[in-house]
Structures are given as structure tokens and as C-alpha cells.
Amino acid sequence: MTAPRDTVVDAPPGSAVVYVCVTCRRADEPESEPRPGALLADATISAAEDTGVVVRRVQCLANCTRGPSAAIRCNGSWAYIFGGLDVAHAGALIDGAKLLAGAADGLMPWRGRPEPLKRGLIARVPPLDFTDTEAKETE
């Protein structure tokens, strides 16, 4: 049996996953290695130790003009994409992931959200099974 498409595979139930773009750099930065996104991924992995938050490296989140970028999601919740991050924001990503994992409504609360995740919000994306009774669907 395969997992539903919006299920985070290999994540403990009730935990969040942080996806960090390792190819990210700011547009005005020269090509260099390691990329700022890779450094952010390393710092986020370290910050996640013993928290239950899973961190995964990804090649591109297509947010190049506002990188470095990361996304946070957990099963059944909205996914959040953040940009303008740096190594100093690794702890904020973990704190945001824990907030999202504890949100009964699947929405990361604004209150208590770390400041970099308020300023750096790019988008939130509904889960696959989302329905809004106020919006009209088009198919």
C-alpha cells in the first residue's frame, strides 16, 4: 500500500518536516561553495537534534530571488515556504516546525511564530484534501 500523496513518509506521526534548499544563494552573491542554503541546511539539522523535527535537503524550492529558502509541513497541515533566511534562522525553522506540528487546525499560528518566519513568509499551500466551503471550486 502506498502513502497518500500529502503524507510525509518516514516522519514520526505528529512531527513536522523542514525542507531546506541546498542550492540557494542570494542573487547578489557570487557562485561559491558551500552555498548559503547548504550552510542553512547543516545548521538546521544541528538545531533539530532531539526535537522530533525531520530536516531534509532539497535541490531547489524555486524561490531564487528571495533565497535562501525552506519549507515546513506536516501531515494534514498547510505547507509554509519561507525566504530570505540565513544560518542564524535555523532555530527559528525548528521552532516554526514545532508550532505547526502542534496546531490542531493545520495552520502555523502567527502568535509565537519566530520573527524570521513572519518577515520571510513567501506562501502557504493547502493540503491536498483541503476544501473551503466559502470558495467555489472549478474543475
pLDDT in tens, 126-136: 988 887 765 55
Average of per-residue pLDDT across 73-81: 92
Write the burial class of residue 51 (CB in 10 Å: 0-12 exposed, 13-18 middle, 19+ buried): middle
Measured distance CA(87)–CA(92) in Å, rounded: 10
Phi, psi (rounded to 5 degrees) for 38: -65, -40
Residue 71 has pLDDT above 90, yes or no: yes
What are the structural domain ranges in the chain?
Answer: 16-125
Q: What is the mean pLDDT of residues 78-106?
A: 95
Tell me the average pLDDT across 45-57. Answer: 95
Taking residues 109-129, what's their average pLDDT?
A: 93
Query: What is the model's pLDDT at position 27?
Result: 64
pTM: 0.84
Domain 16-125 listed as CATH 3.40.30.10: yes
Q: What is the pLDDT of residues 12-44, one digit of tens each?
A: 666 899 999 999 776 666 677 788 999 999 999
What are the residues facing 7 on neighbouring strands? Answer: none
Dihedral over alpha carbons 85, 70, 76, 136 (to 10 degrees) = 80
Percent of the chain's residues with pLDDT above 70: 81
Q: Is the pLDDT of residue 45 over 60?
A: yes
Tell me the pLDDT of the chain averaged across its residues.
86
